[in-house]
């Protein structure tokens, strides 16, 4: 398939919390992962979840090395992960975040500076990645997508916590 259209809020696919776990032996896994990689490469973002491109399955890609700010590029490089879960977090902090599916806005949310994400990494098996900083934020954001949540759902007050992006 290749590059797929990124679904935009309020598309109801983005609010599904029943995205299916992927069986690593499923023959469609390779295509889902290729679609994620191709679409991320064609986008300005650093991470993407399968539901954002119309696949109702639990798969993500995170690559903070794409970020335009050098200080945010530290991490594990390009990670494709199936069935990820956040198993630990620490050091909550407020941060302004955006989303490829909500391109006109950013919002203030609470994230964690450290996170451990566990899932199946093709070619490596089940892995637990210890992430910090911007990479930890990216993993938290993408796992939220798999659970049907957008950063808009976390912003406590639209009036004080959502901001229109500069055009």
Among residues 97, 70, 69, 84, which one has the least CA distance to residue 131?
Answer: 84
Active-site residue identified among 12, 71, 104, 142: 142
- Other Cβ atoms closer than 10 A to 20: 15
Is there a catalytic annotation at residue 142? Answer: yes
**Residue tagged 């055009």 (tokens):** 167
3-state percent helix, strand, coil for the chain, nearest multiple of 5: 30, 35, 35
Instruction: Give the CA angle between residues 135, 137, 141 to the nearest 5°.
Output: 120
Distance of CA 30 to the CA centre of its chain: 18
- Cβ contacts of 79 within 8 Å, gap of 6 or more: 61, 62, 63, 121, 129
Residues recognised as catalytic: 142
């Amino acid at each position: 398939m290749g590059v797929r259209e990124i679904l935009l809020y309020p598309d109801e696919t983005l609010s599904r919390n029943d995205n299916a776990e992927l069986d690593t032996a499923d023959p469609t896994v390779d295509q889902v992962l290729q679609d994620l990689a191709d679409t991320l490469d064609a986008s300005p973002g650093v991470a993407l979840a399968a539901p954002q491109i119309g696949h109702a399955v639990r798969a993500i890609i995170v690559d903070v090395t794409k970020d335009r700010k050098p200080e945010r590029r530290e991490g594990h490089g390009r990670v494709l992960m199936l069935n990820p879960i956040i198993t630990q977090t620490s050091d909550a902090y407020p941060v302004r975040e955006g989303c490829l599916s909500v391109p006109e806005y950013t919002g203030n949310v609470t994230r964690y500076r450290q996170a451990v994400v566990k899932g199946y990494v093709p070619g490596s098996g089940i892995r637990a990645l210890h992430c910090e900083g911007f990479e930890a934020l990216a993993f938290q954001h993408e796992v939220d997508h798999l659970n049907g949540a957008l950063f808009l759902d976390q912003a406590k007050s639209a009036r004080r916590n959502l901001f229109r992006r500069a055009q």
